[in-house]
Amino acid sequence: MARIAEDNDFDNLKQLVDDNDGWILELDKSETKVYTRPVEGCSFQMVKITTFFEDISAEILYDVLHDPDYRKVWDTHMLESLEIGVFNVNNDIGYYAMQCPAPLRPRDFVLQRSWLDTGCEQMLISRSVEHKDYPPKKGYVRAFTHITGFLLRSKPPSGCILNYVAQCDPQGKLPPWLVNKVTHTLGPRMIKDLRKAALGYVQWKYSQSHFRKPWRYPEDITVPRILIEDCWEPAKIQQGQLDIAEASKINIAQSNSLKEIETTTKNTKVHSNGDKNVNFNTKSNSTNNSPVLEKKKTSKRKFKFKFDKFTRDRSE
């Protein structure tokens, strides 16, 4: 269920990052550590990654994680991404679809993102929600993200520490042991992709026709405001289980928040289910030098993880 993120949500993210009790260190190499932790009542582990980028600031990395236009450039696994709307200036809803290694079907998500920039820390939290206009669709398996969190901390003189926490259920018929293995195997690869993207971001951004950053400048928001009840399960709405009074209070708060932004920025503009069954046996004019722009010249990168030790049926 969608809801507006509160301070304790970000405090919980910081606790997951800073407290290593119960975590198992799976990899410690080249400034990157990968941890896993079992979750009670769930077959899918939580993964945590921490790494140090010596030459990338937290501010730049925060922009890369947010920027929906740039993600289409650097995210080689993405099939589709849409900005659905916003609850307020720090909470939005989006759709994301990604390719998976053959023979698996693509996965898609409806995600609520919540973010907070305190100046010394930048935090971004995503989790799966429902939306009445984006039900599961043919050809995709609707996956579920319990949490995906980023916590960025500056490290002088010009670097930052990236902390990443995630727990995801890909749904379908994948065995949990395989999902857990792939998750902490692909994590370091994701970190490399993110670093490469960050190194090319500033050059790419200044080559664009606009400098839109709605996560920093609320007056840049162009997507519609959506209501909290839009993100409840349709069945619950039809059965009258939606607490209208609670939803209305939230919507009023959202409306007031956006009106306040509109008032303060009016005269100013600041810019700087189902896979096949699987049986497992065991502004610059020159942008050519940007490390991520080469992605447009090549085909989608293939997954390196090989599914070669199995037999599969066609039953759902």
* Distance of alpha carbon 86 from alpha carbon 76, whole angstroms: 26
Give the pLDDT confidence score for residue 291 in this predicted structure.
Answer: 55
**pLDDT tens column, 217-246:** 999 999 999 998 888 754 443 344 444 344
Lowest-pLDDT choice from 130-139, 189-198, 282-291: 282-291
CATH 3.30.530.20 in the chain, residue ranges: 7-212+273-312
Long-range contacts, stretch 193-198, CB < 8 angstroms, 24+ apart: 193/74, 193/75, 193/76, 194/61, 194/64, 194/65, 194/162, 195/53, 195/56, 196/74, 196/291, 196/292, 197/64, 197/70, 197/73, 197/74, 197/292, 198/53, 198/56, 198/60, 198/61, 198/64
**pLDDT tens column, 291-306:** 555 544 444 444 444 3
The secondary structure of 17-68 as a DSSP string is: HH--TT-EEEEEETTEEEEEEEETTEEEEEEEEEEEETT--HHHHHHHHH-H
Q: Phi and psi at residue 154, in whole multiples of 5°? A: -70, 145
Percent of the chain with pLDDT over 70: 73
Q: Is the pLDDT of residue 114 over 60?
A: yes
Q: How many CB atoms lie within 10 A of CB 224?
A: 9
**CA dist list (Å): 168 to 22, 45, 64, 133, 186:** 18, 8, 22, 23, 13
Please name which of 83, 57, 54, 79 lies closest in space to residue 68, comparing C-alpha atoms.
Answer: 83
Please tell me the CATH code under which domain 7-212+273-312 is placed. Answer: 3.30.530.20
**CA dist list (Å): 273 to 108, 182, 215:** 10, 19, 33
The confidence band for 104, taking pLDDT boundaries of 50, 70 and 90, is: confident
DSSP three-state, residue 306 = coil
Tally of residues, the chain: 316
DSSP three-state, residue 173 = coil
What angle is formed at CA 130 by the lines to CA 81 and CA 228, rounded to 5 degrees? 105
Give the pLDDT confidence score for residue 43 in this predicted structure.
Answer: 86
| Cβ–Cβ under 8 Å, residues 223 and 113 | no
DSSP at 164: E
The secondary structure of 176-234 as a DSSP string is: HHHHHHHHHHHHHHHHHHHHHHHHHHHHHHHTSS----TTT-GGG--SPB--GGGGS-H
**pLDDT tens column, 151-162:** 999 999 999 999
* Distance of alpha carbon 118 from alpha carbon 253, whole angstroms: 22
pLDDT, the chain, mean: 80
> pTM (2 decimals)?
0.77
Q: Is the pLDDT of residue 84 over 70?
A: yes
| Cβ–Cβ under 8 Å, residues 129 and 147 | no
